[in-house]
Every structure is written in C-alpha cells, then in structure tokens.
Amino acid sequence: MKKIDLEIVALSHSVTQSHNYAVVLGEVDGKRRLPIVIGGFEAQAIAVAMERMIPNRPLTHDLFKNTLDTFDVTLKEVIINNLLDGIFYAQLVCSRDNQEFVIDSRTSDAIAMAVRFKSPIYTFEFIMDQAGVVLEDDVDKGSSTIMPDEIDSDSFDQYSVDALKKLLEEVLETEDYERAALIRDELQKRESEED
C-alpha cells in the first residue's frame, strides 16, 4: 500500500470534549486533514517536544527515546496503520544493526515519539478516506444559517445530510477540527445506516 506523508498542522484544546485535545495531521502534498482526539497528557508530551522544551526530569516519552538511543535503536518512521470503531492504531518502525522491527503503539504516543526523533509520519489512503477531512478554498462564507459554535454531537439529529455537509465545510473554514471530526463521524454513521 502506498503511504501518505503527514505533518502536524495543529495541536489544540477540544471545545467539544473537556480535558481532551486534538492533534491535526495534514497531508504534506494535499488539502486533507486527519484530526485525532487525544488526552491532555499526550498533548503535553507532543507540545513539549514540538517546542523543544526540556523538562527538569524526563517525561515518559523522553525516557523511552533515551532508552532507544542507548541501545542504538533508530525510529525510522511512524505509520498510522488502522482505524477500527473510531480508534486509530499506529506502529513504530525501528531499526538496529540493519534489522527492522515494528512496535505497536497508541497513535498519540507514536506521534510524540516521531516529534522527538524527527521521524516521518505516514498513513494509508483507506484511513484518509474514512477519517480525513478536506479543506476547501472556495467556501461561501456569507451564505450560512447554521451556527457552528452552537452545535454538539447530541444535536446532529436535527440536521439533514446536506446541512451537515455544509456545516462540515464551515467548521473546517474556522479550523475547528474537533467539531469537524464529530460531523464526519455522524455523516459516516448515516451512510452505514443506509447500506
């Protein structure tokens, strides 16, 4: 399978889920975004590495990196390799002495390690098809009657599929990836109910 190269586009607090954050990965050569909801600790681990902050004592991910470095293990790449029931799965592809091995990982931990090792992050087309959202350049900003700030996942049943698609465009325009992920999930749920 062809791998899709991703980069971290944003790390933001989740408006819709208290105490949660979203890391947003974007295609290096495309407009699609992959929002992934993560916990506060994981968001901190990613942010600390992105900002090149050095804590007084090593965080868990720093300890793991130091351990891999001590044993001459290199993190070649991170692959977000599956999505089941709304949960992302990832793998750390490592090498030592020209031998490659794969370690299963939570996606948030894998991203935190990728930032520390400056390793590439990849996924596959089927994951982008299921969970990716597309940024549109030509969204008509003045034609909406839906108020994106006032909705949550409990109120989706009052919207038609067309209204949800329009709402998805609007929240993407404001870069509210947490709500975009919720709307995308609702649209996918309705599609599966029709099948």
Per-residue pLDDT band at 138 (split at 50, 70, 90): very low
Same domain, 28 and 87: yes
Same domain, 100 and 161: no
Coil/strand/helix, residue 172? helix
Distance CA 172, CA 44 (A): 24
Same domain, 118 and 148: no
What is the percent of the chain with per-residue pLDDT over 70, rounded to a whole number? 80
What is the percent of the chain with per-residue pLDDT over 90, rounded to a whole number? 42
The pLDDT tens digits of the residues spanning 80-94 come to 999 998 899 999 999
Distance CA 119, CA 140 (A): 38
Token pair in block for residue 151: 């909705």
Residue 159 has a pLDDT of 65
Same domain, 60 and 147: no
Residue 50 has a pLDDT of 87
Nearest CA to 106 out of 40, 60, 38 is that of: 38
**Looking at 96-105, 106-115, 155-164, which range is the least confident one?**
155-164
Same domain, 32 and 125: yes
- Chain-wide mean pLDDT for the chain? 82
Same domain, 68 and 107: yes
Same domain, 104 and 55: yes
Nearest CA to 180 out of 191, 188, 189, 171 is that of: 171
Same domain, 21 and 113: yes
pLDDT of residue 173 exceeding 80: no
Of 100, 115, 131, the residue that ends a domain is 131
pLDDT of residue 18 exceeding 80: no
- Domain total for the chain? 2
Same domain, 15 and 78: yes
Highest mean pLDDT among 5-14, 108-117, 178-187: 108-117
Of 116, 131, 146, the residue that ends a domain is 131
- Is the pLDDT higher at 93 or at 194? 93
pLDDT of residue 113 exceeding 70: yes
Residue 162 has a pLDDT of 75
The pLDDT tens digits of the residues spanning 36-86 come to 989 888 888 898 888 888 778 888 999 999 999 999 999 999 999 999 988
* 159, 38 contact by CB (below 8 A): no
Of 80, 110, 131, the residue that ends a domain is 131
Residue 92 has a pLDDT of 98
| HSE-up (13 A, CA, CB side) for residue 115 | 25
pLDDT of residue 125 exceeding 80: yes
Token pair in block for residue 47: 């942010």
Distance CA 62, CA 128 (A): 29
Residue 156 has a pLDDT of 64
CA distances to 94, 153, 159, 169, 190 from 180, rounded to whole Å, are 33, 10, 15, 8, 15
Distance CA 33, CA 179 (A): 13
Same domain, 166 and 121: no
pLDDT of residue 141 exceeding 60: no
CATH number of the domain bearing residue 126: 3.10.690.10
Question: For the chain, what is the total number of helices (H) and then of strands (E)?
Answer: 6, 8
Same domain, 94 and 180: no
Same domain, 78 and 22: yes
Across-strand partners of 133? 33
Q: Which domain holds residue 74?
A: 3-131
Residue 69 has a pLDDT of 95
